[in-house]
């Protein structure tokens, strides 16, 4: 019987490389054991067939940022369960290969109310985290709000500029009617419950709220409950 050996040691012998390089190959998702990708260097192997992809790179894998189309009614606690390979948007153009490590230690940023749907950001990248925490309030967010009711006189000017929410004068925003029951808002620094409250101030009830965009990053055609990667070259 072959003595069990750590996978990183097997890769070292296979490629004549250092232990550190072997670990990066494995953690980068380039190593397969009997045809199945294994990302943990400490995995024990015996007589299994170990292969390394021909295009393998020993560069450390970059931290991931995932963009989720949150379903309406899903709470913050519900969302991590949606971040699985099975829910990866097939139209993802980032070129990033899903790895097991991409689903670990993700932090949710720019959250939405439970009743709302649309774009939510999850990241492992401290640079993205810092950027959104420090400057997120300056980024324009785009929403579509399905409403019912009859707007009061001067509703549009009031929504655009002139409301005070939680003792804070709201920044100016752009508001337009997309249909008789649909408002489109481009607005900054949105607080929990704010959009529904704004609608109520002008005689409207917010029936559905959907975030389409944060800064320069939009949902595009991604269905609810699915996610895609933020490409390394894109910025909010």
pLDDT for position 173? 93
Distance separating alpha carbons of residues 183 and 163, to the nearest angstrom: 17
Beta bridge partners of 68: 120, 227
* Cβ(34)–Cβ(67) below 8 Å: no
- Residue 1 per-residue DSSP state: -
Res 54: pLDDT: 80
For residue 211, what pLDDT is reported?
98
| pLDDT tens, residue by residue, 27-55 | 877 888 888 888 788 888 888 888 888 87
| pLDDT on residue 55 | 78
In angstroms and rounded to an integer, the radius of gyration of the C-alpha atoms of the chain is 23
Among candidate residues 86, 188, 181, the one with its CA nearest the CA of residue 143: 188
Task: Please classify residue 198 by burial: count the beta carbons closer than 10 Å to its beta carbon, then call 0-12 exposed, 13-18 middle and 19+ buried.
Answer: buried
In order of their start, the domains of the chain are 5-52 (3.10.290.10), 65-136+217-229 (3.30.70.580), 140-214 (3.30.70.1560)
Residues in a beta bridge with 182: 146, 179
Q: Tell me what pLDDT residue 56 has.
A: 75
Residues 129, 107 contacting (CB under 8 angstroms) = yes
Q: Hey, what are 142's tokens?
A: 């785009």
Low-confidence ranges of the chain (pLDDT < 50): none
pLDDT in the model for residue 37: 84
The tokens for 165 are 């929410």
Q: What percent of the chain has pLDDT over 70?
A: 100
Please classify residue 179 by burial: count the beta carbons closer than 10 Å to its beta carbon, then call 0-12 exposed, 13-18 middle and 19+ buried.
Answer: exposed
Q: What was the pLDDT predicted at 189?
A: 93
The single residue listed with the structure tokens 């055609």 is 221
- Model-level pTM? 0.82
């Amino acid at each position: 019987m072959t003595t069990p050996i750590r996978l990183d040691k097997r890769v070292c012998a296979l490629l004549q490389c250092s232990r550190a390089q072997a670990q990066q190959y494995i953690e980068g998702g380039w190593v397969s054991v009997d045809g199945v990708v294994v990302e943990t260097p400490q995995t024990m192997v015996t007589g299994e067939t170990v292969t390394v992809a021909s295009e393998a790179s020993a560069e450390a894998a970059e931290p991931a940022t995932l963009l989720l189309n949150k379903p309406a009614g899903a709470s913050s606690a519900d969302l991590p369960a949606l971040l699985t390979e099975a829910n990866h948007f097939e139209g993802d153009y980032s070129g990033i290969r899903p790895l097991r490590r991409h689903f670990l230690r993700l932090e949710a940023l720019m959250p939405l109310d439970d009743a709302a749907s649309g774009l939510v950001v999850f990241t492992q990248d401290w640079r993205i985290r810092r950027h959104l925490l420090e400057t997120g309030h300056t980024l324009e967010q785009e929403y579509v709000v399905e409403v019912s009711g009859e707007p009061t006189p001067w509703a549009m000017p009031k929504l655009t500029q002139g409301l005070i929410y939680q003792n804070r004068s709201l920044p100016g925003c752009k508001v337009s009617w997309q249909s008789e029951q649909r408002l489109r808002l481009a607005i900054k620094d949105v607080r929990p419950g704010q959009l529904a409250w704004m609608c109520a101030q002008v005689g409207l009830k917010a029936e559905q709220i959907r975030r389409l965009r944060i800064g320069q990053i939009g949902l595009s055609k991604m269905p609810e409950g699915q996610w895609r990667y933020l490409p390394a070259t894109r910025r909010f």
